[in-house]
Amino acid sequence: MSFLNYLSELCAPFKLLVLSIGQFSLKPKLRGGEILKQCYEGAVLSAPMVLFSISIVSLMGVLEFSWHMMKVMHEDALVPAFSLVLTIRELAPVVTAMLLASRLGAAIAAEIGIMKNSEQLDQLQLLGVSVVDFLILPRWVGCLLASLSLTLLGIVVAVLVSSQLASYGLGYQAQEFYNALFVLARGQDLVGALVKAVLFGTTIPFVAAASGLACKSGSRGIGQAATQAVVKSSLWIIILDFLVNSLLWIS
């Protein structure tokens, strides 16, 4: 496969996004029951995995910050401030998105791929049912809300877990830890995290849907579609993360 072909495949989800926005703006139609189902599967069922992972990564961040600052400055008073900024800007939105891409992205691609192989998509078209309205929009809304809610909840959980580690392992008092949290954090950091959550929550379902719609026949094709959904979603998450960081925080 040439680079141009791969680039075209990589941009295919955004063609689908433009089509979905245009179709929804002309004829708004949301399936409330399906959206609630997707929100439950995306946010509630993913919460234990996402929050546990963010907690572990935030603990690693606190330990690394403490070690490096003690080595260089012989002082780790700013560990809470640095760890909170890292959590808000990077850990919460990116870890959440990566895990959602592996869980929801693969599931969406496999589900649509199976429907394509079993000719269910053709049957929907014969019945005059829009694939965008029926399959893609509910999963978009569900993934978007899951990304936003789990990012915010991940920040809170990471702060609580990090404070416990700092209290028991680094000699901090709980009040001292919380007082040092907001030395460096600003409102722009939270805005950036929410922007990332929106971008990631939009990218994942459309990348997965495009992979499913391009699925080849057979079980191998379905497996490849699910794999491509995770790989391409992860790649776009990294690219979008760099772009947001460049616009908001790199002068």
The 10s digit of each residue's pLDDT in 27-79 is: 656 667 788 888 888 889 999 999 999 999 888 888 777 777 777 777 666 77
Residue 31 DSSP symbol: -
Q: What is the mean pLDDT of residues 89-116?
A: 91
- Over pLDDT 90: what percentage of the chain? 28
Element (H, E) at 163: helix 137-169
Taking CA atoms, 170 is separated from 33, 68, 156, in Å, by 48, 13, 20
Q: Which of 50, 101, 99, 96 is nearest to 207 (CA)?
A: 101
Split at pLDDT 50, 70, 90, the class of 24 is: low
Q: What pLDDT is recorded for position 174?
A: 66
CA 28 to chain centre: 25
Q: Which of 96, 209, 212, 189 is nearest to 146 (CA)?
A: 96
pLDDT of residue 145 exceeding 90 = yes
Q: Which of 215, 241, 222 is nearest to 12 (CA)?
A: 215
pLDDT (tens digit per residue) in 158-210: 888 887 777 676 667 667 677 777 777 788 889 999 999 999 999 999 899 88
Q: What is the mean pLDDT of residues 113-130?
A: 80
Q: Which one has a higher pLDDT value, 5 or 89?
A: 89
Rounded Cα gap, residues 144 and 134, in angstroms: 17
Q: Which of 241, 52, 20 is nearest to 249 (CA)?
A: 241
Q: What is the mean pLDDT of residues 134-152?
A: 90
pLDDT of residue 122 exceeding 80 = no
pLDDT of residue 113 exceeding 80 = yes
- Over pLDDT 70: what percentage of the chain? 81
Rounded Cα gap, residues 132 and 137, in angstroms: 6
**pTM to 2 decimal places:** 0.85
Residue 28 phi, psi (nearest 5): -65, 125
Q: What pLDDT is recorded for position 135?
A: 81
Rounded Cα gap, residues 133 and 127, in angstroms: 13
Q: Which one has a higher pLDDT value, 96 or 171?
A: 96
User: What is the chain's mean pLDDT, rounded?
Assistant: 82
Buried residues in 165-174 as b, exposed as e (16+ CB within 10 A): bbeeebebee
Q: What pLDDT is recorded for position 2?
A: 57
- Burial of residue 53 (CB within 10 Å: 0-12, 13-18, 19+) is middle
User: How many other C-beta atoms can be found within 10 angstroms of the C-beta atom of residue 240?
Assistant: 19
Rounded Cα gap, residues 91 and 49, in angstroms: 14
pLDDT of residue 234 exceeding 90 = yes
Query: In one letter, which amino acid is 92?
Result: A
Split at pLDDT 50, 70, 90, the class of 101 is: very high
Q: Which of 215, 170, 210 is nearest to 77 (CA)?
A: 170
Q: What pLDDT is recorded for position 51?
A: 93
